[in-house]
Amino acid sequence: MKNILSLRILLALMISLTIVGCKRSSSSKNSSRATGWNINDKNGGFQYNTKFQEQETAPGLVFIEGGTFTMGKVQDDVMHDWNNTPNQQHVQSFYMDETEVTNMMYLEYLDWLKRTYPPDDPNFKLIYQGALPDTLVWRNRLGYAEMMTENYLRHPGYAEYPVVGVSWIQAVEFANWRTDRVAEIELQNAGYLERDTHLSATAESNFNTDTYINAPTKTFAGNDSIIKPEKSRKRVQVNAATGDTINQFARRESGLISPKYRLPSEVEWEYAALGLSELRSYNVYRGRKKYPWDGQYTRSGKRKSRGDQLANFKQGKGDYGGIAGWSDDGADITNQVMSYEPNDFGLYDMAGNVAEWVADVYRPIVDDEFSDFNYYRGNVYTKNAINDDGTVKIVTTDEIVYDTLSNGKIVARNLPGEILKVSVDENETYLRTNFDTSDNRNYRDGDKRSSRQYGDSFDEDEENENSSTRKMYNSPNHNIKKDSTGVMIKEYDQSNDRTSLINDEVRVYKGGSWKDRAYWIDPAQRRYFPQDMATDYIGFRCAMSRVGSKSKGGNKKRN
């Protein structure tokens, strides 16, 4: 009897200690380990999302856990480019589109632009026109392609086919637009914005993510009925003792606003395309892969689908799909996304269908001696423009800036409602060790001593704009000139002394397309194309950075 009583007392003590421990651990989340003050106190003070668990996967994306891999290839270099020498790189975890951006996805973007910036308004006409894909890329002087020219972008029969005729610049603008729309619906769902505001957006009143974070009261032109909805069930808005309203706007600290959609870097794209997880043996990769799928061949070796092509590509001269029937790859041009099996990361069409733009400026080498972590060439650092009164400068409908591209096409550099961006200056670069200029595209750009003009007229101290690029590669210089009426003077480069097409405006594209031979569908292959031009075989997909833990779901190390 005594023993039973003792056990009951011991059990009661354990339960009480557990309850106290739970209370302490739960309350400690809302008390500062630095000061002891309460966090998220209803009376005011420091507010922070202490319940944040993990970044949610944004629409259309899949998670790619980062790691170390060998970028480049070791197979024969039949093109003699020598631009993909193997080098070891480490990639941080990120997210990538499950499929290439499709015609329907891009048409949604065009529809929003058309409603928000009506092209029949002369002030906005060039915004919509600048975003339109070039449908004439399908034309061939000795081939009939008018059906694709007229139908490929808009006909429902091609809705889930990858969009083409989109330049690198247009792809970047699509990613920026997508960032705003996803953030907007997240804030609507959380009660920070009025419902369905995206349907009534105008040039003077719309949503931009950066504007909301930096100056929320200027979003939607400061319309209180939109940015301070009265009927909000989810948002807990509190009036503090000081008279301030807590939780009126979502901040970075709220965890609601995801990182931006963007183009993947070249290293991210190649890492994701290879999907090396099937080769992993404890903490090393056993062997190498030539394609996104397993094996060294383009046809399936599985009993159920043996002999089937695993991607659509040009199989030989005059052969874009194979003989009609079971051995055909299912497409002569592009194919509907998800028509072939995904790789081990769950990504579709990382070989075949269309080649894809990546973020990097092209150079013949990847400078792994300087950087082997999240490698990327193309950083141009900017900051928010500030008014005289210290507030951020918001672009108005009268301050839209347009750029004339080398091919004569005009695109909007900024849109109303965005924050005006300017280059970083000495205030940000002075005595820094990690960067000293705004434009870093030419950083460590080759060996000057081996350049074609070194020792002749090459001045190592010369600091003319883009001089390093021109001296190193002697690329064409497209001067954009206009006559007295403002019409662009279209000229062709007539020089016979050009040694390269490489400059700061050419971007890398990866992966083979429906128009390429099997050699190009190796993810290690890298090619380049002017960022303001488009083709019928280059599309794109978006990526997003990962915040927080490297592994999803808090996976623990096995070894």
pLDDT in tens, the chain (559 residues): 556 656 666 666 666 655 545 444 445 678 898 999 999 888 888 888 888 888 999 999 999 999 998 899 867 778 788 888 899 999 999 999 999 999 999 999 999 999 999 999 999 999 999 999 999 999 999 999 999 999 999 999 999 999 999 999 999 999 999 999 999 999 999 889 999 888 889 999 999 999 999 999 999 999 988 998 876 555 656 666 665 677 889 999 989 999 999 999 999 999 999 986 655 545 555 556 677 776 665 655 565 554 566 688 888 898 888 777 766 778 899 999 999 889 989 999 999 999 999 999 999 989 888 899 999 999 999 999 999 999 999 999 999 999 888 888 899 999 999 999 999 999 999 999 999 999 999 888 865 655 555 555 545 445 454 555 656 677 777 777 787 887 888 877 777 777 788 888 999 999 999 999 988 988 999 999 999 999 999 999 999 999 999 988 655 555 4
Give the DSSP H/E element, type plus range, for residue 285. Answer: strand 284-285
DSSP tag of 143: B
pLDDT of residue 228: 86
- pTM assigned to the model: 0.88
Q: Enumerate residues 6+ apart whose C-beta is below 8 A from 38.
A: 30, 31, 32, 45
Q: Enumerate residues 6+ apart whose C-beta is below 8 A from 165.
A: 133, 134, 135, 136, 137, 138, 153, 534, 535, 536
User: What is the Cα–Cα distance from 295 to 290, expressed in whole angstroms?
Assistant: 7
- Domain edges within the chain: 57-294+389-441+538-551, 442-503
DSSP tag of 420: P
Q: Enumerate residues 6+ apart whose C-beta is below 8 A from 259.
A: 544, 545, 546, 547
Give the DSSP H/E element, type plus range, for residue 5. Answer: helix 2-28
User: What is the Cα–Cα distance from 538 to 165, expressed in whole angstroms?
Assistant: 7
User: What is the Cα–Cα distance from 345 to 65, expressed in whole angstroms?
Assistant: 9
pLDDT of residue 538: 98
User: What is the Cα–Cα distance from 383 to 438, expressed in whole angstroms?
Assistant: 10
User: What is the Cα–Cα distance from 492 to 483, expressed in whole angstroms?
Assistant: 16
User: What is the Cα–Cα distance from 533 to 197, expressed in whole angstroms?
Assistant: 34
pLDDT of residue 408: 85
Quick check: helix, strand or coil at residue 206?
Answer: coil
pLDDT of residue 26: 45
pLDDT of residue 11: 66
DSSP tag of 326: T
